[in-house]
Amino acid sequence: MLKLAFRGVTRYKKRTIITAFAIGIAIVFSIFMKSLLTGVALDSDKNLIWNDTSSAKIYAPGYFEERDYYPIDVLITEEQGNALEQKLEENGFTNYTKEFVESAQIMFYEDPFPTSGSITAVLKAMDSSNTSAYKFEDSQIEGDWISNNVDGVVLGSKLSQDMNAEVGYYVTIQTKGKGGFIQAFDIPIIGIISTGDPVVDASTIFFDYNTINDYLELDGYSTNYSVSYSMNIAKVKSISDSETAILNNLIVPLKLEAYSWREIADDILQLQSSKGGFSNIFLFFTFFIAIVGISNTMLMAISERKNEIAMLKTLGYNNKFIKRLFTLEGTIIGFLGVFCGTIVGVLISLYYQIEGIDLSSFVGDSESIGYRINSVMHAFVSPTQVILIIILGLFVSMVAAYFAVRRTGRGEIAEMFRRI
pLDDT in tens, 205-230: 999 999 999 999 999 999 999 999 99
Give per-residue pLDDT as tens, 17-32: 878 888 888 889 889 9
Q: What are phi and psi of 23, to 5 degrees?
A: -65, -40
pLDDT digits (tens, 9 = 90+) for 142-167: 999 999 888 999 999 999 999 999 99
**How does pLDDT run across 314-348, given as a tens digit for each residue?**
666 666 777 777 777 778 888 888 899 999 999 99
Q: Among 71-75, 296-300, 317-321, 403-407, which stretch is predicted with the lowest mean pLDDT?
A: 403-407
Whether 193 contacts 111, CB under 8 Å: no
Q: Is the peptide bond before 71 cis (omega within 30 degrees of 0)?
A: no
Mean pLDDT for 263-270 is 86
CB 98 within 8 A of CB 225: yes
Instruction: Report, in this order, helix, strand and coil percent for the chain, each rounded to 5.
Output: 55, 20, 25
**How high is the pLDDT of residue 200?**
93
pLDDT band at 123 (very low <50, low <70, confident <90, very high): very high
Give 205's strand partners.
123, 155
**In the predicted model, is pLDDT for residue 407 greater than 80?**
no
Q: Please report the pLDDT score of residue 413 as a whole number.
A: 47
Please tell me the distance from the alpha carbon of residue 263 to that of residue 109, in angstroms, as a whole number.
40
State the pLDDT confidence band at 279, using cuts at 50, 70 and 90: low
- Examine the pLDDT at 362 and tell me if it is beyond 80: no
Residue 20's pLDDT is: 83
Q: How confident is the model at residue 417 (pLDDT cuts 50, 70, 90)?
A: very low
Sort 3 into a burial class: Cβ within 10 Å, 0-12 / 13-18 / 19+. Answer: exposed
Q: Give percent of the chain with pLDDT exceeding 70.
A: 82
- Residue 401: half-sphere exposure toward Cβ, Cα within 13 Å: 25
80 confidence band (pLDDT: 50, 70, 90): very high
Q: Is residue 262 predicted with pLDDT exceeding 50?
A: yes
Using CB atoms within 10 A of its CB, is residue 61 exposed (0-12), middle (13-18) or buried (19+)?
exposed
Identify which has the larger pLDDT, 292 or 309.
292
